[in-house]
Chain A
Amino acid sequence: MLDDIDRRILRYLQADPSLSTSELAERCRITSGVCWRRIEKMEANGIIQGQEAVIDWTALGYAVEVSLRVTLDKTQARAFDEFTAQARQVPEVIEIQTFLGRVDVRLSVIARDMSHYQQIYRDRILTLPHIADIEALMHIARVKRDEALPV
C-alpha cells in the first residue's frame, strides 16, 4: 500500500510531470535516492503508467468540440459493439465512453468549424448503427482539465 511519501510524490508529479527526480525530491523533502526508488516501485506495480503529451486541438485547427450523448436501441443485442466499432472508424471521434445511466454512449467529436461539424454529423455520425436518440452539448470552455486524482 502507499504511504504518505508515495502520496506526496504523486501529488507533486501530477501537478508537474516534467519535474526531474531531484526537483521532485526537494519538494517532497526526501533524498533523490528515496524518490527514485519510490517512483521505480510505483512504476513496477502499475500505479504509475506513464506520461502522455496533452494535445490542444484548437492549435491544430479544430476549433469545434461537441459532446454527443447517444441512446442506443437496446432491442438489438449487438447495439453497443456495432455502434462503438463503427464510431472508432470516424477520425474526428477522439473519445468514446460507455455509461450506466440515461446516456448509453458519449462521443467527443472535433471539427475545424461548424460547417465541417455539420458534414461529419450528417455523413459519419447519423449513419452509425442502432441510434435511438442523440443529444449534443457544445463545448464553450474547459474550466478545469488536469484530471488529477485526489491521492
Chain B
Amino acid sequence: MIEFDEMDRKLLHALTQDATQSAGALGRRFGLSQPAAWRRIKRLHESGAIKGRRLRLNAEALGFGVTVFLGVKLARKGQVSLEDFERAVSAIPEVQTVEHVLGLYDYRLRIVARDLADFERVLRRRIMTLPGAGDVEANVLLSEERLPGPIGVSTAPGPESPNGASSARR
C-alpha cells in the first residue's frame, strides 16, 4: 500500500463525482499544473485506488422501478461448489452485484426489476433454481445514499429515491 496525501484524496473525491474531468481541469481547481495533476491521477490508477469507471444511469427512467437486496443461504454446504453457484448467479442479468459474506447469509445479491411482479419472476425462475440456493431473505430498497467515506467531508444531504439518482451527490 502506498501513502496518499490530502491532494490525492481531493482528486479521488472529485473523480468519484465526475470521472470525465481532465487532468487540466482538476489541476486548475486544486492549484496543480496539468502534468502534476496527470501524474497523480495516473498513480491513483496504477496503485489500484481507482479500479475503474462506472456509468451512472437513471434506473427508473429506464423502467427499473424496484431494487431488492437478497440474502441467500446455501443449502447442503460442502456438497455444492461455491464456484458453480457464483458463476450461475453472476450470469443472471438482473443481478447487479454479488457479495460473498460471512454471517447470517452466505451471499448478498442486489437485484433490479421492473416491478415486484417482475422481481418475483426473477426470484422463482432464476434464483431459486440455482444450484445450492437455500433460504432467502428479501428487502426492498427504499432509499440509498453513497457517502464519500474517509476521503471527503460529508455534506449530509437528505435521502433520495432508490434507483439511479442514488450516487449523484457524492
Query: Do B156 and A101 have beta carbons less than 8 Å apart?
Result: no
CA distance A143 to B103 in the complex (A): 17
Take A52-B170, A149-B96 as given contacts and tell me if A91 and B150 are in contact as well, using a CB distance cutoff of 8 Å. yes
For chain B, the count of residues having a C-beta within 8 Å of the partner chain is 70
Q: What distance in Å separates the Cβ of A151 from its nearest Cβ neighbour in chain B?
A: 6
- B57 interface hit (Cβ, 8 Å): yes
CA distance A88 to B158 in the complex (A): 10
- A114 interface hit (Cβ, 8 Å): no
- A53 nearest CB neighbor, chain B only: B15
CA distance A139 to B47 in the complex (A): 22
- B120 interface hit (Cβ, 8 Å): no
- Interface of chain B residues 44 through 69 with chain A (CB within 8 A): 47-59, 61-62, 64, 69
Q: What distance in Å separates the Cβ of B44 from its nearest Cβ neighbour in chain A?
A: 8
For chain A, the count of residues having a C-beta within 8 Å of the partner chain is 62
CA distance A78 to B29 in the complex (A): 40
Chain B contact residues: over half helix, strand or loop, or mixed?
mixed
Query: Do B165 and A51 have beta carbons less than 8 Å apart?
Result: no
- B146 nearest CB neighbor, chain A only: A95
- A110 interface hit (Cβ, 8 Å): yes
Which of A51, A94, A149 contacts B19, CB < 8 Å? A51
Residues of B contacting A132 with CB < 8 Å? none
5 further interface pairs, Cβ-Cβ under 8 Å (given A55-B16, A143-B100): A10-B57, A45-B61, A53-B19, A55-B50, A96-B145
Binding site for B on A (CB under 8 A): 2, 10, 13-14, 17-18, 45-62, 67, 69, 84-85, 88-89, 91-103, 106, 110, 135-151
Listed from nearest, the 10 A-B pairs whose CB atoms lie closest are A101-B139, A150-B93, A53-B15, A137-B103, A143-B98, A59-B48, A99-B139, A144-B98, A49-B56, A94-B149
21 A/B residue pairs, CB under 8 Å, sorted by A = A49-B56, A49-B57, A50-B168, A52-B17, A53-B19, A53-B52, A54-B54, A61-B1, A67-B103, A69-B104, A91-B149, A94-B146, A95-B145, A99-B142, A110-B150, A137-B103, A138-B103, A139-B99, A139-B101, A142-B100, A150-B93
